[in-house]
Structure 1
Amino acid sequence: MTVQRAIARLVAAGLVETRPGIGTFVLDRPSASPVGDVDWQTTSLGPDRTGPTTVGSTLRDVGPGTIALHSGYPSPDLLPMRDVRSALQRAARGDDAWDRPPLVGMPELRAWFAREVAAGSAGAAPRPSDVVVTAGGQAALSAVFRALAAPGDPVVMESPTYWGAIAAARQAGLVIVPVARTAGAPRAEDVDDALRTSGARIAYVQPTFANPTGAHWAAAERSAILRVAADRGAFLVEDDWARDLAIDEPRPPMVTDDPDGHVVYIRSLTKSASLTLRVGAVIARGPVRDRIAGALASSDLYVSPVLQRAALDVVTRPSWDTHLARLRRELRRRRDALADAVSTHAPSLQLTALPEGGLNLWTRMPRDLDAQIVAARCLADGVAVSPGDEWFPAAVPGPHLRLNYAWADPARFSEAARIVERVITSSDDQVSDPSTRRRFRPATTGTSRAGTTPLPARPATDPAG
């Protein structure tokens, strides 16, 4: 088997070929291709609409042994991989796996998304006809921006916010109007002013366990911003990326409080089921749903029926609820372990609150420190972190790092925190000009954001975890 695997890799690399019944032969090296002149493309391509963060650091590949605190996903050992493998095998054996599905998705899967979003809420339950199945959350974001705005139109966004939303908006040619977070949510007055002065008809929001900060909106904040959207005739694009990642109680989405179609809801299964299940959904009421479906069809046509059937199989099994309960316990344990490691071994990082859901800790570094340089030096020393710059759609108010607690081995959290602290302090020592020397202060505790838990001196571990 070892030899067979080695030969398979050589064949895939184009170095050998196998001839059944004859043998395996080394391929001749192709002659070197002439190097072309592609400088002309600089003029023809023109300005880059996407900006510097087309692909975020969360998708960076790192070498073996690197402590990956930069990831945007949970570790596979937290996901129901056995169920996913079995579901994919069953789906591939079904006759309907080889037929083209409806452009908006399989009816059974759309009905599940509608039921699941409405679960536990007394508000306006969406109908299956309001649902469009998508190839994950990022595809949904891109389609929604293309459907709701034309190039040059403004879109209001919280700052900081998800780098993928920033990239998708810029790719669609939209002009981002940032609104700063104050507590859990931006002030309703600021959102109203941004919509009024810019003329925007879209606001991208993360009311639940925002990426990267982990904060969530209080009920009063949700109601106030929803009223602003209604008064302005605007759409709120609600990205509920962490729906299944609540460490404490999950909260009903805003879309259930909006029967009038102002909220366009996005949900994905990728982070809670498997990276291989690029399956998500958009829920929208009224004519906007058809416009979004058209935008998705023009780029993706439809989502693979094998993936749709497998996703439905996984989420409708009794083991799904058991998996989510285990996932929440493990996320709590890992969150507390990383927070404890940071507070103990990386005092230069300011962590003021524990998120009640999601995958990340949002930390602030001492002022005047360059987050990109710190991240690069950490990576060179064996720790991958996400620099905070890429999470801001406009001006960056200070240096931040986003640390994922769901991918790396928790046994290495203390080691990672020590490396980050060493990089920060050594960066300070390398500044020789006293007039530009960076002043570092130890992190403090006590302040908190709405929707988060104040950070204790030593976070307690979950007895059940």
Structure 2
Amino acid sequence: MDDDSTARLLATLKTWVESAAPAARLPTTRTLVAEHRVSPVTVQRALRTLVGQGLVETRPGVGTFVREVRTARPIDYGWQTAALGAPNARRLGVPSALRNAGPESIALHSAYPDRELLPERLVRGALARAARGDVALTRAPAAGLPELQAWFAQELRRDCPAGVAPPAASDVVVLPGSQSGLSSVFRALVTTGQPLLMESPTYWGAIFAAQQAGVQVVPVSSGPHGPDPDELDRAFAETGARVFYAQPTYANPTGAQWTPERSAQVLDVVRGHGAFLVEDDWAHDFAITSDPEPLAALDDSGHVIHLRSLTKSTSPALRVAGVVARGPSRERLLADRAAESMYVSGVLQAAALDVVTQPAWRSHLRGLRQQLRARRDLLLGTLAEHAPQVTVEHVPAGGLNLWARLPDGTDPRELARACEAAGLLIAPGDEWFPAEPAAPYVRLNFAAAHTAGFTDGSRILGRELDALGIDALGIDAPGIDALGS
């Protein structure tokens, strides 16, 4: 089983195979053991390697043979072009934020927090307990486990001011992740061909889900404190849209958080047009220097559809989210989910509920707040020192990302390719714009990579910008004294 023995035998067999005729039979295992003074296990390991490399093939009960060279017939899939027609989505394939990173790469592109930021002990214990319970062998209700529905409702109830009726558990539909929820919302409330207003820039997954649903995306420019209410009002009036998708709290990718005044103004516009606001509260658990203030807590008339995920804050394996919707909109969403997936795994629901109701969950969130702040500030500092060409115009008060402005004239995708070749993964910002990008950006996740790579990653980014011949913007990057703002 010695690695050296395996390597020597493998080299010998490769030489033999290269000179042998196609379909020639290799010596038996017994013969190879005797001739090369190795163990049968070593022989089997060498043969498995040759099979994996496509040099030989095994025939059970017969032996191992040199693989015959076969000329593959080109397969023509051209007929599918006419059969499928034009795609609903303008971009196909895996988005940059979901690319797998190699072990040596510095991963600032990811959409998820690093494993060390997750409540691993809570998750493992919760999954073990859920697997032993009745939920492991029974079908969950279509709308979700009642206890989990109640938890989602209670979370919003805590933020409801006096005079606003809090949501009930029956207003909640449990989902297999928030991405699935977005697809359901767009299918159920917008329908094919109808306009959907959407902040720009915004979450690439929402753009993708809308395009796949066949709705017409209408971008509305949004800044560090949210969209301009007058622009939103004009967009509603000009398009006749009845749904607006937004991220009022720690938006992905910008980290923006709406002010209370802006939230009230936007809600007035939505109500005035008899429309819905789909509130994607994806980063509720990732506060740093402020607290989340869901718009859904201000509305009891059914205008706000509130979507909250537990996947990023608990574990990527717990694909569980909840949507709070009141009135007929909730019934349409439930009908869409029933047609799509019938129900969410009871084991996952029970495990997620177990995690977020443990006393240690609140302690974990308090520690997470400090860890995120340290990571955010460290990446800001290393960027200012080693990549002064980029500018973070808004220091986020929560979330996982920095939205970094590149010098004018930069091609974000060309920069991303150059950085990847140098060992740094970043996400080009054009994926977060529903229409043409307003300027060149990249999104940098300060929660995904090990902090030890921040300095080298910033150096690579600055060096590759220099190699592209890009000059600095002339806008001062935030200094360390501004990081806590």
Q: Output the CA distance in 2 between the equivalents of 1:326 and 1:2.
A: 46
Q: Secondary structure at the match of 2:156?
A: helix
Which residue in 2 is equivalent to 1:94? 133
| Counterpart code for 2:122 | D
Query: Does residue 112 of structure 2 align to residue 73 of structure 1?
Result: yes
> SS of the counterpart of 1:341?
helix
CA distance in structure 1 between the aligned counterparts of 2:65 and 2:388, rounded to whole angstroms: 56
1:318 aligns with 2:359: yes
Q: 1:144 and 2:167 equivalent?
A: no
Q: Distance in 2 between matches of 1:108 and 1:27?
A: 60
Q: Write the distance in 1 (CA, Å) between the matches of 2:456 and 2:270.
A: 46
TM superposition score normalised by structure 1: 0.88
Tell me whether 1:302 sits opposite 2:343 in the alignment: yes
Q: Which residue of 2 aligns with 1:47?
A: 86
Distance 1:336 1:81 in 2: 25
Over residues 206-228 of structure 1, what are the superposed CA-to-partner deviations in whole Å (9 max), with x where a residue is unaligned?
Answer: 10011000011011111111111
Report the 3-state secondary structure (helix = DSSP H, G, I; strand = E; otherwise coil) of the residue aligned with 1:271.
helix
User: Structure 2 counterpart of 1:406, which letter?
Assistant: A
Does the C-alpha gap of structure 1 residues 414 and 14 become closer, same or farther in structure 2, counting only changes over 3 Å?
Answer: closer
Question: What residue in structure 2 maps to residue 456 of structure 1?
Answer: 479
SS in 1 for 2:322: strand
Displacement of 1:441 in angstroms is 3.0
Contact 1:247–1:356, Cα closer than 8 Å, also in 2: yes
Q: Aligned equivalents of 1:43 and 1:380: distance in 2? A: 37
Equivalent residue number for residue 473 of structure 2: 441
Which range moved further: 152-161 or 297-306?
297-306
2:100 counterpart letter in structure 1? D
Alignment RMSD (CA, Å)? 2.9
Deviations 1:130-167 (A, max 9, x none): 00000111000001100002211000011100000000
C-alpha distance in structure 1 between counterparts of 2:259 and 2:484, whole Å: 25
Does the aligned pair in 1 maintain the 2:408–2:473 contact within 8 Å?
Answer: no
Alpha-carbon deviations, 1:157-182, whole Å to 9, x = none? 11100000000000000111111114
Q: Distance in 1 between matches of 2:87 and 2:353?
A: 39
Q: Does 1:257 align with 2:298?
A: yes
The Cα offsets for residues 93-130 of structure 1, whole Å up to 9 and x where unpaired, read as 11232111101100011001111122244243211000
SS in 1 for 2:218: strand
Distance in 2 (alpha carbons) for counterparts of 1:387 and 1:2 = 46
TM-aligned CA deviation for residue 30 of structure 1:
10
> 2:103 corresponds to which residue?
64
- Counting only pairs closer than 5 Å after superposition, residues 41-440 of structure 1 correspond to structure 2 as 41-52=80-91, 55-122=94-161, 123-428=164-469, 439-440=471-472
8 Å contact 1:347–1:443 — kept in the other structure? Answer: no
Measure the CA separation in 1 of the matches of 2:325 and 2:142: 16
State how far apart, in whole Å, the 1-side matches of 2:69 and 2:206 are. 43
Deviation at 1:369, TM superposition (A): 0.9
The residue that corresponds to 2:24 in the other structure is: none
Q: How much has 1:354 moved relative to structure 2?
A: 1.1
**CA shift for structure 1 position 357:** 0.2
Change (3 A) 1:171 1:316: same
2-structure distance, mates of 1:326, 1:260: 36
**Alignment check: 8 A CA contact 1:347 1:442 kept:** no
Structure 1 unmatched runs, 5+: 17-21, 429-437, 446-454
Report the more deviating stretch, 179-188 or 223-232: 179-188
Distance 1:354 1:93, change over 3 A: same
Contact 1:339–1:459 under 8 Å retained in 2: no
Checking the alignment, whether the CA contact within 8 Å between 2:389 and 2:462 is kept in structure 1 is yes
Is the CA contact 2:395–2:483 (under 8 Å) kept in the aligned structure 1? no
Amino acid at match of 2:227: P
Q: State the secondary structure of the residue aligned to 1:42.
A: helix
- Measure how far apart 1:37 and its partner are: 1.5
Task: Give the aligned partner of residue 432 of structure 1.
Answer: none
Distance 1:461 1:151 in 2: 44
What is the distance in 2 between the residues matched to 1:2 and 1:205? 59
For 2:97 and 2:479, how far apart are their aligned partners in 1?
A: 28
Q: Shift in Å at residue 56 of structure 1?
A: 2.1
Q: TM-score with structure 2 length normalisation?
A: 0.84
2:128 counterpart letter in structure 1? Q
CA contact (8 A) 2:390 2:473 kept: no
Alignment check: 8 A CA contact 2:402 2:444 kept: yes
Assess, with a 3 A threshold, how the Cα gap between structure 1 residues 343 and 91 changes in structure 2: closer, same or farther: same
SS of equivalent to 1:272: helix
**CA contact under 8 A between 1:364 and 1:398: conserved in structure 2?**
yes
The superposition leaves residues 358-386 of structure 1 with CA deviations (integer Å, 9 ceiling, x where unpaired) of: 00001111101100100111011000001
1:431 is aligned to: none
Within 1, Cα distance between the matches of 2:111 and 2:174? 22
Q: Percent identity?
A: 46
- 1:458/1:415 Cα in 2 relative to 1: closer, same or farther (>3 Å)? farther
Structure 1 residues 423 and 112, CA gap change in structure 2 (3 angstroms) = same
- 2: CA distance between counterparts of 1:257 and 1:2? 68
Report the Cα distance in structure 1 between the residues aligned to 2:68 and 2:413, rounded to whole angstroms. 40
Secondary structure of 2:266's partner? helix
Secondary structure at 1:148 match in 2? helix
Tell me, what secondary structure is at the counterpart of 2:311?
Answer: coil
Cα drift, residue 397 of structure 1: 1.5
User: Do the aligned partners of 1:134 and 1:281 also contact (CA within 8 Å) in 2?
Assistant: yes
Counterpart Cα distance in 1 of 2:92 and 2:242? 24
Following superposition, the deviation at residue 350 of structure 1 comes to 0.9
**Contact 1:340–1:458 under 8 Å retained in 2:** no
Q: Which amino acid aligns with 2:152?
A: F
Closer, same or farther in 2 for the Cα pair 1:136/1:26, shift >3 Å?
farther
Matched letter for residue 476 of structure 2: T
